[in-house]
A and B are shown apart, each in its own frame.
Chain A
């Protein structure tokens, strides 16, 4: 378990989450005693099996949920509600279907106060950045799954967040599209020097995209583990990559 230190962008201290049950049911423990911190410009992958609380953790950092125990500080202040400083991008189908690609991005720009003559140009600029300038006036249903995720990424970036929260953003894509978008995404994130928390259940994805990996246990109560990704370990055939992959696999499969 990693201890949180001061002057971090985000600090998570002993966080636990119980989902409120219906009357007469026992509360469901989603997370227990999670502690980590994140510096600006860092990419943290949160890895774990389905149902281990990865998305819950991301929702807590986004401010969409509140922890039942512990505290989460963003720039030293407790998180109590969503903020455009911490934008979350969901698994799939989260574009507003009634807005075109460019209108979806304009929504994010207007939410942060951009208006007037630069609005459309800015939105088109973000679309061009993800290679979709030609699809600006298409509705989401007219775009492929990969294109939709690119628009969602452009929209999240257009909000200019300090922290980008990605909930399995490539999970709904086919393997070939996933690989292409993953590379594109990695290049944009590094170029913009964004701080990112990426939830994934793909070990390779976690290693290639992140600086550190937080492994959530399959059942609450077990220790959370935090591992650094060596710079030399991001290539699929590098010995460090294979060693880290094996280690992460063992941790996740631990019963």
Chain B
């Protein structure tokens, strides 16, 4: 009976939490809509949400938005997967090899603060116009969060677990696969989460400069035509896809790292 009561209380609390979030969102939209209606906001600078919604509906119905979103997603996912394939093995190598880590440290420290978008001119020179520069920029955007988190994960393996494994006579392979990797997994997944978000933000910026498809290109072209409701619609879509990508990784994180106590997410 007590368990049923606790579960019921939890369900009620969760429902209230969701309702509170929706209410705040609706309140924000209402204030925005009213401000536009009352002429407090310049419709060219910031169109009313109803206009944005209408534009979004029209874009979704025509399939235009979907095509641009698919182009951006393709670039992000490919770039991100290349980054995962390069950064995680390198992070594991650097995390376990102190000499290599110290040797490469200055180079990594120099490259890390460079914003992904600053690579665009070089990327165009190297890969030409088209998808190449976008793949490269999305790859480089997630590379450093992934690399650094993987390294941190390996360096933060609890020495007691390593000692236990060594004391039990585990081989180096067993220690790496069954102690180091699972122990570093939360860090790696956290790096993937940050990396994917940065990749997604960077692809939009890259597409504004060097693409003829994608959400970045879409926003840029609509801004030139002063169709601000379309620009905001495109921004809303970027945010929405960003949330979906992030939630996918949160779900993966929960599944892969089920041994950790549940953690709160935004």
A-B contact pairs, 16 of them (CB 8 A): A62-B167, A82-B167, A83-B169, A84-B167, A90-B160, A94-B163, A96-B161, A96-B164, A97-B259, A98-B182, A99-B178, A107-B165, A111-B169, A112-B169, A141-B261, A165-B167
Main secondary structure on chain B at its contact with chain A? helix
With A94-B160, A97-B259, A139-B259 in contact, is A87–B167 under 8 Å at CB? yes
Cβ of A47 within 8 Å of any chain B Cβ, yes or no, is: no
Cβ of B14 within 8 Å of any chain A Cβ, yes or no, is: no
Q: Mask for A114-156, Cβ within 8 A of B = 1, else 0? A: 0000000000000000000000000111000000000000011
Cβ B164 vs Cβ A90 within 8 A: yes
Complex: A94 Cα to B168 Cα, angstroms: 12
On B, residues with C-beta under 8 Å from A are 160-161, 163-171, 174, 178-179, 182-183, 185, 257-261
A195 to chain B, nearest CB (A): 15
B259 contacts which chain A residues (CB < 8 A)?
A: 97-99, 139-141
Q: Mask for A64-89, Cβ within 8 A of B = 1, else 0? A: 10000000000000000011111110
B174 contacts which chain A residues (CB < 8 A)?
A: 107, 110-111
**Given B169, B183, B185, B257, which contacts A82 in the complex, CB threshold below 8 Å?**
B169
Q: How many residues of A contact B (CB 8 A)?
A: 28
Cβ B182 vs Cβ A107 within 8 A: no
Who on chain A is nearest to B257 by CB? A98
A65 to chain B, nearest CB (A): 10
Cβ of A193 within 8 Å of any chain B Cβ, yes or no, is: no
A82 contacts which chain B residues (CB < 8 A)?
A: 163, 166-167, 169
Complex: A84 Cα to B169 Cα, angstroms: 4
**Given A83, A90, A93, which contacts B163 in the complex, CB threshold below 8 Å?**
A90
B170 contacts which chain A residues (CB < 8 A)?
A: 107, 111
Lowest 9 CB-CB distances: which A-B pairs, in order? Answer: A84-B169, A98-B182, A98-B259, A82-B166, A111-B170, A88-B167, A111-B168, A111-B169, A97-B259
Cβ A96 vs Cβ B179 within 8 A: yes
A98 contacts which chain B residues (CB < 8 A)?
A: 182-183, 185, 257, 259
A139 contacts which chain B residues (CB < 8 A)?
A: 258-259
B261 contacts which chain A residues (CB < 8 A)?
A: 141
Cβ A155 vs Cβ B178 within 8 A: no
With A107-B178, A111-B174, A139-B259 in contact, is A93–B160 under 8 Å at CB? yes
Q: Could you say which of A82, A110, A159 has the most chain B C-beta atoms within 10 Å of its C-beta?
A: A82
Cβ of A60 within 8 Å of any chain B Cβ, yes or no, is: no
A110 contacts which chain B residues (CB < 8 A)?
A: 174
Cβ of A108 within 8 Å of any chain B Cβ, yes or no, is: yes
A167 to chain B, nearest CB (A): 10
B183 contacts which chain A residues (CB < 8 A)?
A: 98
Cβ A94 vs Cβ B164 within 8 A: yes
